[in-house]
Structure 1
């Protein structure tokens, strides 16, 4: 490394996705435009077009932002991303791995809390007005299937799931929730 400070990747969660019956696929929205996310000292929204520049990159689909639990990626075609008038839409073909089978089982029971995404903000990508932050450009790095507590509450869950309790993932979610509250 050259000693320069590395920007911190930010994460946001949304509970909008669905499992396709009989298929190994999740579909839905990893982010929605115009919905407010309220954090301890500011409110954030995402503007239409914010993800556009990132969609040509190699974006990963993960479980709880864990790079050791890859579910798919745009480079291989197992993750497809697009922007529409509502937000960042995704379609994810789940692998026949333990993580993929667990996600399918949890989704079938309705135990998954939603989707999340990890991102950086490029220069000029945000506008602050008092305590309101508007994201105009987002350098998307990954989307994740998460267990609970989305940052943007205006999306809906359309998915059911089945599976065992994952203590490691629950601890990560608790840390993320605590960080959001700071």
Structure 2
């Protein structure tokens, strides 16, 4: 039997800003997904393809929780399926290292700022699914592989904190 694999990371980082279609900037406020992750049955997909489900909150194969950094996820990889093998292979080799959340906005703020693209702050959203993708809209998201629930957690947390600090310095974080 193959060693159990888990793909994990952050699907959303609070207050991280990204540009959407060169039309506006967007960020999630802390706690904007709390209700959704408590109430909704959320899936983990490959490339937003609903035919390629690799985890689900209702079955317990996808676990979500909010922490000080953002929305953290863990998905148990089923290496007995082609899609599980694809997920493990592409994330394990770091060919895919980002996550794209699919969501409906329930409430938002558009603060008046100076010049530049307008900013949308999502204050509540309904999360539909998370997808492992090659080109995430939020480049700050992460996807990493580990063999057991606690392996590499401290190292991964340090990498995420370093990436976040570098983005803050470059003005990419709000």
- Report if aligned partners of 2:92, 2:144 keep a CA contact under 8 Å in 1: no
Q: Which residue of 2 aligns with 1:154?
A: 140
Q: Which one of the candidate residues 97, 119, 122 is aligned to 1:132?
A: 119
Normalising by structure 2, what TM-score? 0.73
- Report if aligned partners of 2:6, 2:145 keep a CA contact under 8 Å in 1: no
Q: Aligned in 2, Cα 1:146/1:154: closer, same or farther, shift over 3 Å?
A: closer
1:12-68 C-alpha deviation (Å, 9 max, x unpaired): xxxxxxxxxx53210111111011101212111110000001012110111011110
**Alignment RMSD:** 1.7
Q: Which residue of 2 aligns with 1:61?
A: 44
Q: Which residue of 1 aligns with 2:15?
A: 34
SS at match of 2:110: strand
Corresponding pairs, count: 136
Structure 2: which 5+ residue stretches go unaligned?
Answer: 113-117, 147-174
Q: Which residue of 1 aligns with 2:81?
A: 97
- Report if aligned partners of 2:97, 2:144 keep a CA contact under 8 Å in 1: no
Structure 1: which 5+ residue stretches go unaligned?
Answer: 1-21, 161-182
CA distance in 2, matches of 1:37, 1:87: 15
SS at match of 1:53: helix
CA distance in 2, matches of 1:156, 1:27: 8
